């Protein structure tokens, strides 16, 4: 699934933060959605790519 989404984003010219290694099961409150720690990691990753 991840590969298909990444390919579609690239084909559409959309930026995509590679996150396959960013979160693990311990960051997901219900096995799907990130909890506070997961959101903090996502925010840090996005901020790092947005910095000038």
pLDDT of residue 46: 87
**Per DSSP, what are the bridge partners of residue 28?**
34
SS3 39: helix
Q: What is the pLDDT of residues 36-51, one digit of tens each?
A: 999 999 999 888 887 6
pLDDT at 20: 75
pLDDT of 43 reads 92
Q: What pLDDT, on a 0 to 100 scale, did the predictor assign at position 17?
A: 77
- pLDDT: which is higher, 20 or 32: 32
Collect all residues with Cβ–Cβ distance below 8 Å to 22 and sequence separation of at least 6.
Answer: 41, 42, 45
Query: pLDDT (tens digit, 9 = 90+) per residue, 13-31?
Result: 777 777 678 889 999 999 9
> Tokens 């690239």 label which residue?
10
């Amino acid at each position: 699934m991840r590969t298909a989404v990444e390919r579609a984003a690239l084909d559409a010219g959309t930026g995509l933060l590679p996150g396959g290694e960013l979160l693990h099961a311990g960051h997901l409150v219900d096995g799907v959605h990130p909890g506070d720690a997961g959101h903090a990691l996502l925010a840090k990753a996005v901020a790092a790519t947005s910095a000038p």
